[in-house]
Amino acid sequence: MGAEVIDLVHLPTGTRPTPIAYLEYEDVDRCREMDCVYYNQCLSFSARVRWRSFHCRQCPQYKVMRGELVHKGSPEQGPAQVIKLR
């Protein structure tokens, strides 16, 4: 089984959704931050790269939304630069 290579395009700066194989409905509130200003963009990204599911727990914005960090960016900054993982 090889590693998955994904171009992280159109993700807002400072976001990082993480793929997971399956997410129980009861776990959605614990694993995703649906009130995040970037949530819809991350959801669209995960659909575009055909992830079965994703979570927000490793995203820096997750901690921001939970009040653990202060975010310095804004959604008006536009999409992130193109990043290619190899």
Q: Cα(83)–Cα(21) distance, rounded to whole angstroms?
A: 23
Most confident of the ranges 1-15, 21-35, 67-81:
21-35
Mean pLDDT of 62-83: 57
Instruction: Judge contact between 42 and 15, C-beta under 8 A.
Output: yes
24 burial type by CB count under 10 A (0-12 exposed, 13-18 middle, 19+ buried): exposed
Q: What is the mean pLDDT of the chain?
A: 75
Domain ranges in the chain? 7-84
Give tens-digit pLDDT for 31-65: 898 888 889 988 888 888 888 999 998 888 887 77
**Residue 35 has what pLDDT?**
87
